[in-house]
C-alpha cells in the first residue's frame, strides 16, 4: 500500500459514495427508501467533511461534519418522515419521466459535469479535478431529481441532495470560512421549514402533493 495516496483515495471514495447514492435516489420508487438514501448521503457527507478536516488539519471542518451529521443524517430525514406520516400520503414515487430515462439523463449529466470541470481545472491536481467533478455531478443529479419528480416531498429531497453536493465541493477546497458554512446550514434548515409549510399548503388546497396540479394556476396549459 502506498500510504501517501491513501488520504486522497478515501476522500475520493466518499465522493464516489455520494454520487452512487444520488443515483440510488433517482432509482428508488418508494418515498421512504428515498429518505433513507438521503440520510445515508448526509452521513457520508459528514464523514467526508471530517476526513477533509483531518487531511487539511482544519478543525472547523469537524464542526462542519458535526452540523452535516446532525442536520442531514438525522434531523432533516426525521422531519421528512414525520411530514409523510402527517400527510398520510401515497408511498410510491410518481415520476414525470420514467426511472430508466432519468437514469440515462443522470449519466449524461455526470458526463456534462466532467466536460465542464476538465477545461476549467487544467493544471490542478488530478485528485482535485475528480473531486470537483463528483461534487458537481451530485449537484446536477439533485437538480434532475427536482425536475423529474412530481411529488413535492421528493422535490425537497432533491433540493437537499443538491445542497449535499455543494457542501461536498466546499469542504474539498481548503479555507472555506466558517461563517459561510454556518449560514448555509441555517439556510437549508429554513428552506426545509418553508418547503414543509408549502407542502402542507398544497395538500390543503388540492388534496394531493402532486405539483403538476399547480400548473393551471400559474397560467400554464390553458
Partner 1 sequence: MLTFGSIIVQALHLALVLAAAPLVVGLIRWLKARMQGRRGASPLQPLRDMLKLLRKRPVLAENASMVSEVAPYVACTASLVALACIPSFSRGMLLAPVGDLILLVGLLALARMALALAGLDVGTGFGGLGAAREMSFAVFAEPALLLCVLTFAILAGTTNLDLIAATFRDGGLGLRVSLALAAVAMLAVAVAENARIPVDNPGTHLEVTMVHEAMLLESSGRHLALWEFQAALKLTLWLALLSAIFVPFGTAPTGAGPLAWVLGLAAWLLKLGALCFALAVFESAIAKMRVFRVPEFLGAALLLALLAAALLFVSTGLA
Which positions lie near partner 1, rule CB under 8 A? Answer: 1-2, 5-6, 8-10, 12-13, 15-17, 19-20, 23, 27, 99-100, 103-104, 106-107, 110-111, 114, 117-118, 126-127, 129-130, 133-134
Closest approach of partner 1 to the CB of residue 173, in Å? 18
Nearer to partner 1, 128 or 191 (CB): 128
The alpha-helical segments, DSSP class H, found in the chain are: 6-27, 31-56, 60-68, 76-87, 99-120, 126-148, 152-172, 178-206
Q: Which residue has the cell 445542497?
A: 163
Closest approach of partner 1 to the CB of residue 195, in Å? 28
Nearer to partner 1, 101 or 216 (CB): 101
Nearer to partner 1, 126 or 179 (CB): 126
Closest approach of partner 1 to the CB of residue 103, in Å? 6
Distance CA 146, CA 139 (A): 11
Long-range contacts of 121-130 (CB under 8 A, 24+ apart): 127/8, 127/11, 127/12, 128/172, 130/12, 130/15
DSSP 3: T
Nearer to partner 1, 23 or 69 (CB): 23
Distance CA 72, CA 188 (A): 10
Closest approach of partner 1 to the CB of residue 79, in Å? 28
Distance CA 27, CA 148 (A): 12
Closest approach of partner 1 to the CB of residue 47, in Å? 14
Q: Which residues on adjacent β-strands are paired with residue 149?
A: 95
DSSP 70: I
Nearer to partner 1, 111 or 194 (CB): 111
Cβ 141 vs Cβ 26: under 8 Å: yes
Amino acid at each position: 500500500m502506498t500510504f501517501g495516496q491513501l488520504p486522497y483515495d478515501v476522500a475520493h471514495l466518499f465522493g464516489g459514495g455520494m454520487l452512487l447514492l444520488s443515483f440510488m435516489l433517482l432509482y428508488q420508487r418508494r418515498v421512504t427508501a428515498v429518505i433513507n438514501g438521503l440520510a445515508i448521503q448526509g452521513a457520508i457527507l459528514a464523514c467526508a467533511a471530517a476526513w477533509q478536516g483531518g487531511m487539511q488539519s482544519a478543525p472547523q471542518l469537524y464542526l462542519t461534519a458535526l452540523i452535516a451529521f446532525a442536520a442531514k443524517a438525522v434531523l432533516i430525514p426525521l422531519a421528512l418522515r414525520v411530514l409523510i406520516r402527517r400527510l398520510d400520503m401515497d408511498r410510491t414515487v410518481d415520476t414525470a419521466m420514467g426511472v430508466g430515462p432519468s437514469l440515462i439523463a443522470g449519466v449524461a449529466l455526470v458526463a456534462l459535469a466532467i466536460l465542464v470541470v476538465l477545461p476549467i481545472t487544467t493544471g490542478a491536481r488530478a485528485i482535485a479535478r475528480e473531486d470537483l467533478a463528483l461534487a458537481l455531478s451530485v449537484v446536477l443529479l439533485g437538480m434532475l431529481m427536482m425536475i423529474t419528480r412530481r411529488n413535492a416531498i421528493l422535490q425537497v429531497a432533491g433540493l437537499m441532495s443538491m445542497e449535499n453536493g455543494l457542501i461536498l465541493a466546499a469542504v474539498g477546497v481548503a479555507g472555506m470560512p466558517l461563517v459561510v458554512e454556518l449560514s448555509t446550514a441555517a439556510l437549508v434548515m429554513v428552506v426545509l421549514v418553508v418547503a414543509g409549510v408549502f407542502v402542507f399548503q398544497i395538500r390543503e388546497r388540492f388534496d394531493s402533493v402532486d405539483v403538476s396540479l399547480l400548473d393551471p394556476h400559474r397560467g400554464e396549459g390553458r
